[in-house]
Amino acid sequence: MTKAMDDGFGVFRRTATDEEVDAEQVLRNLECAKWKSWPNEGAFDALEKQYDSVHLTVKGSIPTWAAGTLFRTGPGQSAVENTSRGTHFVSHWFDGFAHTHRFDIIASRDGSSGISVVYSSRGQAEEYVAMVQKYGWRTGVSFGQKSDPCVGIFGKFMSMFLPQKLNNNVAVIRNMPGLESNNARQIGHRSEPDNMYITTDNSSLQKVDPRTLEPLGSAKQQQLHPKLKGPLSCAHAQRDPVTGDIFNFNVDLGIAATYRVFRVNAESGTTDILATISEQELPAAYIHSFFLTENYVILCVPSSHFGWNGLKILWERNLLDAIQPFDNTARCKWLVVDRRHGRGVVARFSTPASFFFHSVNAFEEKLKGDNGKEVTNIYLDQVEYVNTDIMYMLYYDILMNRNEEAVEDMEKHEKHRTTQPKLVRYKFALLALSQSCKGEYSLTAERVFAIPGPHAGEMPIINPSRAGKSHKYVYGVCSRGVGFWMDAIVKTNIETRDALIWSGPIGHTPGEPVFVPRPGSTDEDDGVILTIVLDGSAQTSYLLCLDAKSLEELGRAETNFPIPLGLHGIHTPICEEATRY
């Protein structure tokens, strides 16, 4: 990694020959605590204020074809004051109280005066905060809230019988079928989603008004189908880009976990169970995403197994403490589920023990085998970690280095080495049904490549037109080790392994990139990248628009207040007809 890329800002071009030296430089930067000079408190600190129709200052030129609405959601408020037990502090970033953001990117009617941007935001966990205010501790199951020793066993037991409130803060689904009509409605010159839901890693959904961001109540997957009664699910549902059908899975807990893979039909609103899997060798696990190809749903059960087959969650009252210590011998188990012909599980295989949050994409390749018969290869791309340490690095105390906790964690456990992501591709040859559908996982997938950070990053996205198809480019947020969490945007060419890395000035921390394609273009990287950047020194933020080809800045819309990094979002274009789903 060059000193300019370490200390300067701009766009830096790196090649495959730079991967090893750049990855080592990231570790050196972390070890010498270079990140202490990178202010990021505004990215994770408490956010309580809500905003309504704030006109942002636009600089540069945001293309008019990128007009639409960018929705973002994620953790906001991280402390509740004046509760019955004093100030309640949220322990883990993923448990920050949900806050949703809306950026309206508006082109002038005649196109002569460019783009204006209007921002609004709304908290989504007001009832949850009120419960904390009343009881002084969280009453539901959290992701990683540390136990309050003052509450004790009795308080923990009683919390199981208190009302459970939602704190969904991970991903946004628009036009969700099955729960209500999903026909888009026209409002003025804009096309709004008919409905919008916020998800997390359980089976409840938070309904939100897409215009006002007002929380409108909750729904459960069991409303889609009576068998979807398990408490766990996947925050990142997958959508068929052609039909709009929604795919997900539901996990019920017991002596043996039961996984139910399902599809919600966008046209009829009905739900079909595609596969029900309950096997002693398939434990309940924390799973944040999965894969969808033209013909299959592919579920990877990583090495993030819950104790007591998931029942430990009920005792610990959080997911993180219920996860067993990482076992290098516990291989990842994969299931390939037919989504076209009702054949259920058609293949099983395994890969070495690891963990991942995010799938990138998956696609099929059909070839003629040596015997003249057609062979199907499935390619699966994900952002992979060597173990589950990354989840334990995301406590607020570590992210913000309170009481030198980040330094202590690195020195004692060297987690900076185990929490570096790699962009990994697996290839699996789908055999005949009789050969690949046995109950064991003896078949294995081939690892095609593994690209380390900072040449690859987290929160991965591709051009949405390539979903379920082969792709060339992946965008994400990466770490050069100069910020403690992510500090740059990376564009990875998986064919050449070249990388473009955008870095802002010191303390400018970007969030998840969102790809907006140029209408009508066939070039995979012809579009713009939208991301929210925090200026940690000024405690302000801006919506940044980058050229997706070069990562050069085109324009920005500035606030005079900080916006937390958040987790995930979607862009809704004004013209929805071609991109309805």
The CA distance from 29 to 96, in Å, is: 28
Instruction: Supply the pLDDT for residue 432.
Output: 59
Residue 382 contacts residue 360 (beta carbons within 8 Å)? yes
Q: What is the mean pLDDT of residues 422-431?
A: 95
Residue 416 contacts residue 453 (beta carbons within 8 Å)? no
Closest CA to 245 of 275, 221, 265, 231: 265
**Helix/strand/coil (H/E/C) assignment for every residue in 311-338:** CHHHHHCEHHHHECCCCCCCCEEEEEEE
- Given a cut of 60, whether residue 579 has pLDDT beyond it is no
The residue ranking higher by pLDDT, 1 or 24, is 24
Most confident of 46-60, 151-165, 274-288: 274-288
Backbone angles phi, psi at 413, to 5 degrees: -115, -10
The CA distance from 391 to 419, in Å, is: 9
DSSP 95: G
568 known ligand binder: yes
Instruction: Supply the pLDDT for residue 403.
Output: 84
Instruction: Supply the pLDDT for residue 162.
Output: 46
Q: Which of 134-138, 195-199, 461-465 shows the lowest per-residue confidence on average (mean pLDDT)?
A: 134-138
Most confident of 31-40, 179-188, 422-431: 422-431
Instruction: Supply the pLDDT for residue 111.
Output: 59
Instruction: Supply the pLDDT for residue 163.
Output: 53
Residue 140 contacts residue 127 (beta carbons within 8 Å)? no
Q: What angle do CA 423, 203, 516 make, to 5 degrees?
A: 45
- Given a cut of 50, whether residue 153 has pLDDT beyond it is no
Q: What angle do CA 291, 533, 20 make, to 5 degrees?
A: 60
**Domain coordinates in residue numbering, the chain:** 10-573
288 known ligand binder: yes
The CA distance from 106 to 67, in Å, is: 5
Which structure tokens are listed for 206?
A: 């938070």
Instruction: Supply the pLDDT for residue 544.
Output: 98
The CA distance from 574 to 315, in Å, is: 47
Where are the extended beta strands (E) located within 281-339? 291-292, 296-301, 332-338
CB hemisphere CA count around 366 (13 angstroms)? 6
Instruction: Supply the pLDDT for residue 99.
Output: 95
Q: Which amino acid is at 262?
A: F
List of residues 6+ apart from 349 with CB closer than 8 A: 334, 336, 428, 436, 441, 443, 444, 445
Query: pLDDT tens across 254-293, in order?
Result: 999 999 999 999 999 999 999 999 999 999 999 999 999 9
Percent share of the chain, pLDDT over 70: 91
Query: pLDDT tens across 341-391, in order?
Result: 999 999 999 999 999 999 999 999 998 777 777 889 999 999 999 999 999
Closest CA to 418 of 427, 409, 408, 429: 409
Q: What is the mean pLDDT of residues 170-183?
A: 84
The CA distance from 26 to 522, in Å, is: 35
| Residue 13 binned pLDDT confidence (cut-offs 50, 70, 90) | very high
- Given a cut of 50, whether residue 539 has pLDDT beyond it is yes
Instruction: Supply the pLDDT for residue 183.
Output: 43
Strand order in the sheet with 458-461: 10-14, 499-503, 488-493, 473-478, 458-461
236 known ligand binder: yes
Question: Using omega within 30 degrees of 0 as the cis cutoff, is the peptide bond preceding 460 cis?
Answer: no
55 known ligand binder: no
The CA distance from 84 to 321, in Å, is: 25
List of residues 6+ apart from 308 with CB closer than 8 A: none
Q: What angle do CA 90, 93, 99 make, to 5 degrees?
A: 85
Residue 545 contacts residue 66 (beta carbons within 8 Å)? yes
Q: What is the mean pLDDT of residues 66-76?
A: 96
Q: Is residue 68 classed as helix, strand or coil in its secondary structure?
A: strand
Instruction: Supply the pLDDT for residue 438.
Output: 53
- Residue 195 exposed, middle or buried by CB count within 10 Å (0-12, 13-18, 19+): buried
Q: Which of 1-10, 227-236, 407-416 shows the lowest per-residue confidence on average (mean pLDDT)?
A: 1-10
Instruction: Supply the pLDDT for residue 437.
Output: 56
Instruction: Supply the pLDDT for residue 185.
Output: 40
Question: Using omega within 30 degrees of 0 as the cis cutoff, is the peptide bond preceding 454 cis?
Answer: yes
Q: Is residue 347 classed as helix, strand or coil in its secondary structure?
A: strand
Mean confidence (pLDDT) of the chain: 90
Query: pLDDT tens across 476-514, in order?
Result: 999 999 998 899 999 999 999 999 999 999 999 999 999
